[in-house]
Amino acid sequence: MDGLKKCSTCGLEKPRDEFYNSKQSKDGLRYQCKACTKEAKTKWASDNPQLVAEQKRRYRKKNPNTVRAQKARTQARRLGTKKGRLDADIRTVMNGNIRLIKTHGRDAYQLLGYTAKELMAHIEGNLHPGMTWKNHSLRGWHIDHVHPLAAYSYECPTSNAFKSAWSLANQMPLWAADNIAKGSQIPPPKVAMAA
Ligand SMILES: [Zn+2]
């Protein structure tokens, strides 16, 4: 019988593919149509927020990889738009600066004593052949610390060690591929590591 089936809830006669399958019923379909099932589910969810939260928690615990993959997809989709990229960049800078001001009283550029534009001008003056801002990326080139940050010890941005580590002179463009080779021959820091 491939005719219409009457929904037990809304009473409308609908084609059989408007009903979900059910193992319990005689004709193999639910008594409710899909639309009514969805509506009932939404109502149940709004009436039982704690149970829904508990279900989600259990699902996340049971399917960590699926959840991680979903999160990554959402993030990629968001960053794939110009608005998403802009919002993400602003949010990162803003949150970082708020944290710096709360802890050290000043934002990143006040602590560094130079602006992002000044850093870029310094870097541009030291680019290797083939480097442009277009291939400034994880696989292209990045801004490298000549003496690695790990070689300095400081806790406060007013210390000389911090100022040396983050000075313009200690930041140079480096091809990503060269960074691997560099790892084994780190020069000792010029400045004392006192905090
Ligand atoms: Zn219905």
Same domain? For 118 and 69 the reply is no
What separation in Å is there between the alpha carbon of 10 and the centre of ligand 1? 4
Residues with Cβ within 8 Å of residue 93, at least 6 apart in sequence:
108
pLDDT given for residue 162 in this prediction: 97
Per-residue pLDDT of the chain (195 residues; tens, 9 = 90+): 568 999 999 999 999 999 999 999 889 999 999 999 999 999 999 999 999 999 999 999 999 999 999 988 888 887 888 988 899 899 999 999 999 999 999 999 999 999 999 999 999 999 999 999 999 998 899 999 999 999 999 999 999 999 999 999 999 999 998 876 666 455 555 554 444
What separation in Å is there between the alpha carbon of 19 and the centre of ligand 1? 9
Total domains in the chain come to 3
Same domain? For 91 and 146 the reply is no
DSSP 79-107: HTSHHHHHHHHHHHHHHHHHHHHHHHSS-
What separation in Å is there between the alpha carbon of 41 and the centre of ligand 1? 13
What separation in Å is there between the alpha carbon of 14 and the centre of ligand 1? 8
Residue 26: inside a domain: yes
What separation in Å is there between the alpha carbon of 48 and the centre of ligand 1? 22
Residue 55: inside a domain: no
pLDDT given for residue 186 in this prediction: 55
- Global confidence as pTM: 0.57
From CA 134, how far away is CA 136, in angstroms rounded? Answer: 6
From CA 71, how far away is CA 87, in angstroms rounded? Answer: 17
pLDDT given for residue 189 in this prediction: 52
Same domain? For 73 and 100 the reply is yes
Q: Where are the alpha helices (DSSP H) in the chain?
A: 34-47, 49-62, 64-79, 82-104, 108-112, 116-124, 160-165, 176-182
What separation in Å is there between the alpha carbon of 84 and the centre of ligand 1? 39
What Rg, from alpha-carbon coordinates, does the chain have? 29
| Domain CATH number, residue 31 | 3.30.60
What separation in Å is there between the alpha carbon of 127 and the centre of ligand 1? 67
The count of other CB atoms within 10 Å of the CB of residue 68 is 11
From CA 146, how far away is CA 164, in angstroms rounded? Answer: 11
pLDDT given for residue 77 in this prediction: 82
What separation in Å is there between the alpha carbon of 167 and the centre of ligand 1? 69
What separation in Å is there between the alpha carbon of 37 and the centre of ligand 1? 7
Same domain? For 33 and 85 the reply is no
**Domain span at residue 121?**
110-182
What separation in Å is there between the alpha carbon of 67 and the centre of ligand 1? 32
